[in-house]
Structures are given as C-alpha cells and as structure tokens.
Amino acid sequence: MANQENRTLIVIFYLCIGVFALICLAPFVLAVSGSLSTEAKLAAEGYSFLPRSITLDTYKFMFDSKAEQIIQAYVVSVAVTVIGTASAVLVTTAYAYVITAKGFRYRNFFAFLAYFTMLFSGGTLPWYILSTKYYHLDDTLAGLFVPYLLNVFLMYLQANYFKSIPHEVIESAQIDGAGHFRIFFRIMLPLGQVGLVTISLFYALQFWNDFYLSLMLISDERLYTIQYMMYFMMANIQYLASGNSAQIGGAVVAPPLETAKMAMTCLTVLPIAILYPFLQRYFVRGIIVGSVKG
Amino acid sequence: MSKKRVWAVLFLATTLLLSACSKGESGAATENATGENNESAGSGLKPAKLKIVLYGDESARMKELAKTEFKDIVKKEINAEVEFQFIPWTEYGGGKTDLMLSTGEDFATYTDTNYMVKSVAKGLYADLTPYMDSAAADMKKTVDEHSFKAFQLGGKQYAVPVGNKPNSGEFYSVLVRQDLLEEVGMSGVSSLTELEQFYEKALAAHPELVGYASTDARRLLMYEYTDKNLYWQNDFLALDESAQDDKIISWFESEEFKAYTQIMRSWYERAIIPKYAATNTPQLQSDWNSGKAMFWAGTAARPFEGAATISQAVPDAKLTNYFLSKDLPKISRGTYSTAWFVSASAADPERYVMFFNLLQKNQELYDLFAYGIQDKDYTVDENGRLTRLTTDALIPDWLMMNKNFMRFDKSVPDDFIEQYKAWDDEAVISKGAGFNFDNTPVKNEETKMGGVFSEFLAPIASGFLDYDENFPRALEKLKAAGFDKYIAEYQKQFSEWYAAK
C-alpha cells in the first residue's frame, strides 16, 4: 500500500520535473533550430521547434567571415576561465583561511573588511579609474579576471567549510610543528575539498559568462571573449531597435541576421552545456554537505 | 605531498602569468613611444595620436583598412596616427562613453545635442571654437552652415557636425511597401482612410503581415489630427511651426494629443499595431527588417536605405514615402547626420578637427572613407553609379552621408535621386533649431518625468491603454513629477533665446 502510494507520488514528481525541464529547454531548442534554419524561412514563418529546411549556411557564413575572431575569442575565454578560476580559488581560500584561523588577532577586522564591500561599493567610476589609471588592467589578459579574484560570498562559503573542520585537527598539527602554510595546504584544503569544488564551479561559470570586464577594460579585439562578442551583437540590435538611434539622425544600420544571432548563442552555450551534466553533481553535493555539517 | 606540489606549481604559474601580462603591456608602450619619436614629421605638423570611438560592429574590411590605407592617408594628410575603437551601441551617450570622458581619456566620438548639453555642463567636451576657421575650412564648404550652429552653446562650438543630407520632415511621412500596395491594386496613399484601406486589403492577401512597425506615429499622423505644424522638442514639448511666436506647447495636455491617441487606440484594437508591441517593442524593428510589416515612419533616405535591409528577406520589396492629407512645409532640424566631439582631456583637439575635416573634404577622401578602395571595394560606372564589391561597412554610411559626395547604386531610379536631392527644397528650418535647453535647474524633475513617461504616458500614446480611463491619473503623476516647473523653465530659456535671435 505504502509502496503504491510512493510510486504514484514519484510519478507525479517526475511529471512535474519533466514539465519544468521542458519549459527550461524550450528556448534552447528554439535557438538551436533557429540557427539551423534558413533566414528567409525564419522571417516568413517564425521560430519552430524543428528547423525549417535544415541548413548549416549560418554557421558556414559565421565561420567564413569571423572564424579567426571566434576561435581567438574561444581561446581567450578558456584561458580566462582556467587561469581565473585557479587564481580566484587560491585567493579566496587563502582569505577564508585567514579569517577562520583562531590564533590570528585581526581576523575579525579582515572579515569585516570583506563584508563591508558586500554592503557598500565605490561605484563604477572609481572602480574604472582604479582599474585603468592605477592598476593598468585595461587591454591586458589580467584585466579579464583580476577584478573578480575575490568574491566575498564565495569566500564566506569557503570559510564556513573551514569552520566545520574540528579545531583539534589543526591544534594537533600545530603541536607537531606545522606552520600556517603547511596547515593550509596539507590540512585545510584537502579537508575543505567539497567546498573547493563548489566555489571553483561558481568561479568557472562566472568567468565563462562574464562580458562586463571585456566591455569596460578591453578595446583590443584580440582579447575579446566569446561572451563579449555575443553581447556586442545583441547590444547593437537592441539599441538600434529601441528607437534611440533616431536621435542621431535616424541611423539605419543593417542589424545582424536572426539566424546569426541564434548561431552565436549556440556557440557560447555549447561548451557549458556539454560540461554541465558531468559537473552538476558537485554543485548539489557541495551545497548539501555543507548544510549537514554546518 | 603531490597535492602540495600541484598547488605550488599553480601559484607559481599564476604569478608568472600575471607579471608576464603587465610586462607585456609596459614593454609595448615603451616601444610605441620610441617608435613615434623616431618618425619625423614630413608635413610640418608634429606627430599626434588620435583615437576615434565608433559604435557598432567593426567589419573585417574596416579592420584591414584601418591598419593600412586609412592609417596611411591620415598620416600623410595631417601627420596623425589614427586608431579606431568600436564599442557596442548601448554605450552611446552614457555607459562606457561617460566613463571614458570622466576619467580623462584622449578620444573623439559622435554625439547628439542632448548628450552635448549634459556633457558640456560637466566640462567634459573640449571647446573647438578656436580651430574651426583653420582646421575645418574645407568641410565648412560642404556641410550646411545651420548644422554648425546646432552644436554651439553660448557661442562656442562643442561639436563638429558631419554629414549633409536632406533631413526635413523626418518621420512625418509614411513609408509604404509599394510592392504590396500595387499588389492589392492601389497606386498611392494620400490619407488615413486610404492607409487603413491598404492595411485591410493587404491583410486579406497576406494574413501573416502586421500593419505599422512602430509604437509612435505622432509625426506621420499629424496631418490628420491637427492643422498646426507641430515640431517636437522632446517627448513632452512641441512647437507650432506655423505660428510666429515662441510658445512652447505641452504635448500631452493638448487637444491634439487626445485626438492622436484615439487614432492609435483604434490602430491597436484593429491590430494595425500588433498586440505584442506593448511588451516586445524591439520585435517591431525585426519585423520591418524581415519584410513582415506594411508601413513605417519615413525619412528622405529610408526608401533606399531600408530597401537594402528588407531585400535580404523580400528581394523585390519597394518602398515609397507618402505624406497624408495636407501639404504643410517640411520642418528641418538641419542637414547634419551627427556631430563629433573631442574629450576635454585631449592633447591635441585641433588635430581631431583636422581629421573630421578630412572625412568631408572632397570626393576622393569621401569615397575612400565611405566605400573603400576603387575597383577593390567598389566600382563606379560612367553615370557615377556605385557597385559595392564588399558588403562590409567602413566608416558608417549614415554618418558620412553628404549629398555633395554620396553615390547611389544602380537599383535606385533616377527620378528617385532627383526627388531625394530636392526633398529639402521647400523645407523650413525649425524656429527652435540651435536652441539647446540647459536642464541643470530642473534635473530632478526631468528624471522623474522620464519615469512617468515610460510607465504611464507612452502606453496611452501608443494606444495600448484607453485615453479617457487612464489619462487623468497619468497627468496627475506628471504634475506631481514637477512638469509645471519644467515647462516654465523651458519656456523661459526658450523665450530669452528666441528674443535674442
């Protein structure tokens, strides 16, 4: 009886999840099918779930005209994601360790310092001046990840993992003569592994999806990321369609083709879509483990 | 142990990379600096560096030319190294442009009068007056005089107009898909009734089409709902060009607005303006571009500019401008496309002006910047008609457009070119042309009014909401935002300026 009930419940849940998943999937399917349709068909009949008269023309067109740029942008995006994630995780965990280290007198002050930036920020202009005039991050690869090296929220997340490690472990290491460096690398990081994976994934996603740093700091197109190329394209069409362009003498600029937009979307989403199923379990596990232990 | 090693290596790698990045940067900078010093000027001018910011996508061909021919010719003519930077359109008149101005970068880009007034108040534009006579001498002959005045504040030139094209009656005509019109057995459109007839007939033949591909028709419908010749200063205020006075009309409070909303309401109810327009305005432009709409607001150039876009989806599309009902003089704001400003921190503003001058100096240079290299990017036949061999945009067409130099392609009929060139012949320069409102005293009011406009007034104006039901509340909100103070200030400044003129 109970078994029967459970089964019904499970079926219902699966149905709900299934429907929800379909809703989430729909736009993506539309984008893929749009990118595989011909422009004329798309204009005449609109979007559909199955491509109308399948063609790879759009991709061919994009790779013909922009192949070099797209590949270059991919390389930059991958480099930024890998280097950025590695450095960000290092900086974040180190900071988290410092503010959780029991023997460190000023840890509360540093914790507050980080927390303060969550509540108040200097605003875009000072940030821009600092990045360009003092740190000279404009038009450098470093400019694409250095500003994001410390995400305070993720730092606190990691700090909580560290806090959940029994202090006795650290104490005994100290008695055995281990310094902070050794404790950090040999005890805290291995024990806080789950948290490490979680924040790495968050960082990786953030770096992959970011276009803001490129927009602000990059003018050399060799350093464009794939997301920025995408943003560039979308921003142009949105602006031109908004009617603001009337202010500048009714500029009529041919917008990018619908199919090209869709193809570009697929190109940016694809790597993440392929990787995600393999990585997603770490997200869930990371968050659940933290909640039980904490 | 191995984990420790991994981390140590990672750390080292990161540090190395970071230092490599910064070194690379400074290394390149010094190289440039020395390179520049070595090159001695051939033309008597000191070498200079110019950075021109343009909005939109940079085409592959533009990239190539920017590094070769464009660079060489600018170097030769005015001994300057020019660099073009393309940024997204969303950064126009704000965003990154603002940041670059505020942080004192050395660059030039284009502007409109609104953005100019705001930026000049903050001291962000260089005063170009001293260079106009010497550095802009050639373009003064090819660009209309009124255009220069439009970008003066307090007698000082803050931006240099570019372009010289028939601009009058912008959006006052209906741009009709002539191919559809002829298909349903009509030859022209001369009134609202005929326009609506066209819609019904075309809809019967093509149910998938929408009527009007925009949410604003106050200009093209003006001839239907009033005898005045209204010319809008902004979303809120208008001038009556047929009256010889300095009176500012509050558009939303006028009877004309009420009459206008009634037409728009009926358009919306009859789906001449598609239902999704209320929530998805950008779609309208896409619809127009893909040939899914029957008519749009016209300008002198749109029949051939727009046809180029639509013909990608509908190869035989033809576009024609019609004015509804009355024959009132067309009003012009000036013939410029836009205007260049130079950032206040620019090292050599004069050289920038010299560069702007090059763009509109003579046919040869115009051809180069707008169309590229002859026989490689374009050919010109014996009638002077242009055939472009590449579709890549260079310095944007719309920006350069100067009727003294521009070339038409073979598909544009002769009579159309004649019509186009004569478009401005009987036009009148707006009595408000050259007036630039200083919004400092009513800045807060203006911001609040902007909110009321998009939330309450625009939906009524576009016919999405009923006037009688919704207008009283919207007006109340507008007044609460300080509209009375705003219009009083505007009227005061305008009267003073008008009297002085």
B167 vs A contacts (CB less than 8 Å): 249
- State residue A240's pLDDT score: 61
Mean pLDDT in consecutive groups of 10 residues from the start of chain A, 294 residues: 80 95 90 81 72 79 77 92 95 93 87 91 88 91 93 92 88 90 90 86 90 90 88 72 48 59 83 77 62 46
Is A47 strand, coil or helix?
coil
- State residue A283's pLDDT score: 65
Q: Do B183 and B318 belong together in one domain?
A: yes
Average pLDDT estimate for B237-253: 93
Q: Which residues contact B316 (CB under 8 A, 6 or more apart)?
A: B179
Nearest CA in chain B to A234: B88
**Is A250 close to B299, i.e. CB distance below 8 A?**
yes
- Element of type H or E holding B41: none
Distance, in Å, from the CA atom of B12 to the CA atom of A77, rounded to the nearest integer, reads 21
Distance, in Å, from the CA atom of A66 to the CA atom of A269, rounded to the nearest integer, reads 18
CA neighbor of B58 nearest in space, from B90, B97, B84, B86: B86
CA neighbor of A66 nearest in space, from A226, A210, A216: A226
- State residue B32's pLDDT score: 39
B282 vs A contacts (CB less than 8 Å): 237-238, 241-242
Give the helix ranges, DSSP H, for B215-301: 222-225, 255-269, 281-289
| pLDDT interval class at B280 (50, 70, 90) | confident
Structure token pair of residue A116:
């303060």
Distance, in Å, from the CA atom of A34 to the CA atom of A44, rounded to the nearest integer, reads 13
Is B121 among the domain residues? yes
Q: How many residues does chain B have?
A: 501
A125 vs B contacts (CB less than 8 Å): 99, 102-103
Is A78 strand, coil or helix?
helix
pLDDT digits (tens, 9 = 90+) for B472-482: 999 999 999 99
Is B429 among the domain residues? no
> What CATH code is assigned to A56-293?
1.10.3720.10
Q: Which amino acid, A107?
A: R
Q: Is the pLDDT at B37 greater than 50, yes or no?
A: no
Structure token pair of residue B37:
């010093």
Q: Is the pLDDT at B130 greater than 50, yes or no?
A: yes
Rounded to two decimals, the pTM is 0.76
pLDDT digits (tens, 9 = 90+) for B373-432: 999 999 998 888 888 888 777 888 788 888 889 888 887 888 888 888 888 888 888 998
Q: Of the residues B380, B399, B414, which one is the last residue of a structural domain?
A: B414
Instruction: Report phi then psi at B113, rounded to 5.
Output: -65, -35
Q: Do B19 and B118 belong together in one domain?
A: no
**Is A247 close to B58, i.e. CB distance below 8 A?**
no
CA neighbor of A126 nearest in space, from A134, A118, A116, A137: A134
Q: Do B322 and B453 belong together in one domain?
A: no
Residue position matching structure tokens 């343009």: B54
Q: Which amino acid, B486?
A: Y
The burial of A7, by beta-carbon neighbours within 10 Å (0-12 exposed, 13-18 middle, 19 or more buried), is given as exposed
Is B435 among the domain residues? no
A219 vs B contacts (CB less than 8 Å): 85, 87
Is B420 among the domain residues? no
**Is B282 close to A242, i.e. CB distance below 8 A?**
yes
**How many angstroms away from the CA of A191 is the closest CA of chain B?**
12
Q: Which amino acid, B2?
A: S
Q: Do B190 and B321 belong together in one domain?
A: yes
- State residue A114's pLDDT score: 92
Is B249 among the domain residues? yes
Q: Which residues contact B431 (CB under 8 A, 6 or more apart)?
A: B239, B241, B246, B498
Q: Is the pLDDT at B189 greater than 50, yes or no?
A: yes
Distance, in Å, from the CA atom of A170 to the CA atom of B462, rounded to the nearest integer, reads 69
Distance, in Å, from the CA atom of B314 to the CA atom of A44, rounded to the nearest integer, reads 9
- State residue B4's pLDDT score: 58
Q: Do B392 and B491 belong together in one domain?
A: no
Distance, in Å, from the CA atom of B388 to the CA atom of B379, rounded to the nearest integer, reads 6
- State residue B227's pLDDT score: 92
Range with the poorest average pLDDT among A182-191, B289-298, B301-310: B301-310
**How many angstroms away from the CA of A2 is the closest CA of chain B?**
49
SS (H, E, C) B203-226: HHHCCCCEEECCCCCCCCCHHHHC
A65 vs B contacts (CB less than 8 Å): 60
Structure token pair of residue A233:
């394209």
Is B214 among the domain residues? yes
pLDDT digits (tens, 9 = 90+) for A24-46: 989 888 888 888 887 667 766 66
- Paired residues of B237 in beta bridges: B250
Q: Which residues contact B108 (CB under 8 A, 6 or more apart)?
A: B50, B51, B52, B53, B340, B341, B342, B343, B346, B352, B355, B356
Is B432 among the domain residues? no
Residue position matching structure tokens 């750390």: B11
CA neighbor of B224 nearest in space, from B251, B256, B247, B255: B256
Average pLDDT estimate for B298-327: 82
User: ipTM score of the complex?
Assistant: 0.74
Q: Do B402 and B469 belong together in one domain?
A: no
Q: Of the residues B306, B332, B358, which one is the last residue of a structural domain?
A: B332
Per the structure, the complete domain to which residue B118 belongs is given by 43-163+333-414
Q: Do B54 and B146 belong together in one domain?
A: yes
**Is A253 close to B312, i.e. CB distance below 8 A?**
no
- State residue A123's pLDDT score: 86
Distance, in Å, from the CA atom of A83 to the CA atom of A250, rounded to the nearest integer, reads 44
Q: Do B61 and B102 belong together in one domain?
A: yes
Q: Is the pLDDT at B266 greater than 90, yes or no?
A: yes
The burial of A277, by beta-carbon neighbours within 10 Å (0-12 exposed, 13-18 middle, 19 or more buried), is given as exposed
Measure the CA angle with vertex B218, ends B212 and B220; round to 5°: 65
Total domains, chain B: 4
Distance, in Å, from the CA atom of B239 to the CA atom of B232, rounded to the nearest integer, reads 6
Q: Do B181 and B303 belong together in one domain?
A: yes
Query: Does B56 contact A at CB distance below 8 Å?
Result: yes
For B444, other C-beta atoms within 10 Å of its C-beta total 12
Percent of chain B at pLDDT exceeding 90 = 53
- Element of type H or E holding B321: strand B319-322
Q: Do B186 and B315 belong together in one domain?
A: yes
Q: Which amino acid, B155?
A: G
- State residue B314's pLDDT score: 83
Q: Do B246 and B123 belong together in one domain?
A: no
Q: Is the pLDDT at B226 greater than 50, yes or no?
A: yes
| pLDDT interval class at B258 (50, 70, 90) | very high
Q: Do B199 and B71 belong together in one domain?
A: no
**How many angstroms away from the CA of A121 is the closest CA of chain B?**
17
CA neighbor of B377 nearest in space, from B75, B69, B74, B73: B69
Is B199 among the domain residues? yes
**How many angstroms away from the CA of B241 is the closest CA of chain A?**
20
Measure the CA angle with vertex A144, ends A241 and A281; round to 5°: 90
Q: Which amino acid, A238?
A: Q
Q: Of the residues B380, B414, B448, which one is the last residue of a structural domain?
A: B414
Average pLDDT estimate for B212-221: 92
Distance, in Å, from the CA atom of B438 to the CA atom of B121, rounded to the nearest integer, reads 8
Distance, in Å, from the CA atom of B133 to the CA atom of B244, rounded to the nearest integer, reads 34
Q: Give the helix, strand, coil percentages of chain A, each rounded to 5.
A: 80, 0, 20
pLDDT digits (tens, 9 = 90+) for A191-201: 888 888 889 98
